[in-house]
Chains A and B, each alone.
Chain A
Amino acid sequence: MIRLRQSSRWGLFFLLLLSVIAFLAPSLPFEDPSAIHLNQRLVEPAWTQAPFLGTDSKGRDLFARIFFGARVSLATGLFGSLLALFIGIPWGSIAGLLGGKVDRVMMRIADAMESMPMVVLVLFLLSILSEYRMELDAIGIGRMHVFYLAIGLLFWLPTARIARAEALRLRSSSFVQAAQSVGSSRSRILIRHLLPNMAPSLLVMLGITVPRVVLMEAFLSFLGLGVEPPSISWGLLAADGLAALNPLVGCWWLLAFPAAALVASLLALNLVADGLRDRLGK
Chain B
Amino acid sequence: MKRFLRRLLALTFVLFFVHAGTFFMVHSVRGGPFDSDRQLPPQVEKALLAEYHLDEPLLQQYAHAVSGVFHGDLGPSLRYRGTRVADVLAEAIPISITLGGGALFVALLLGIPAGLWAASRKNKSPDRFVLSVATLCMALPNFVLAGGLVALFSFSWSLLPPAGLGGFRHWLMPCFCLGLPFAAQVARILRTSALEVLETPAVLAARARGMDSETLLRRHVLRSALMPVVAFLGPASAGLLTGSLVIEQVFALPGLGAHFVQAAMNRDYTLALGATLLYTAVLGLFSLFTDFLLARLDPRMESLS
Interface residues of A (CB under 8 A from B): 111-112, 115-121, 123-128, 131-132, 211, 215, 218-219, 222-225, 238-239, 241-242, 245-247, 250, 252, 255-256, 259, 262-263, 266-267, 269-271, 274
Contacts and interface: CB of A to CB of B under 8 A. Distances in A.
B138 to A, nearest CB: 6
Contact of B260 (A123, A132, A222, A266): A123
Contacts of B289: none
Residue of A112, A124, A242, A270 ringed by the most chain B CB atoms within 10 A: A124
A269 B261 CA distance: 29
Residue of B11, B21, B156, B242 ringed by the most chain A CB atoms within 10 A: B242
B17 A121 contact: no
Given A116-B283, A119-B245, A262-B144, 10 more contacts: A115-B10, A115-B280, A115-B287, A119-B242, A121-B21, A123-B245, A124-B22, A256-B148, A259-B141, A269-B139
B7 to A, nearest CB: 9
Given A124-B22, A128-B25, A247-B155, A242 B147 contact: yes
B26 interface: yes
Contact of B17 (A112, A118, A211, A269): A112
Interface stretch (B66-74, B99-107, B208-216, B271-279): B271-279
B31 A117 contact: no
Given A222-B246, A255-B144, A259-B144, A117 B238 contact: yes
Given A120-B276, A124-B22, A223-B249, A246 B30 contact: no
Interface string B4-40: 0000001101100110011001100111000000000
Contacts of B280: 115-117
B136 interface: yes
A120 B14 contact: no
B183 interface: no
6 contacts: A115-B14, A117-B238, A219-B141, A219-B246, A259-B141, A263-B144
Contact of A124 (B14, B25, B150): B25
A267 B154 CA distance: 27
A115 B284 contact: yes
Interface residues of B, number: 49
Interface of B: 10-11, 13-14, 17-18, 21-22, 25-26, 29-31, 135-136, 138-141, 143-144, 146-148, 150-151, 154-156, 238, 241-242, 245-246, 249-250, 260-261, 264-265, 267, 272, 275-276, 279-280, 283-284, 287
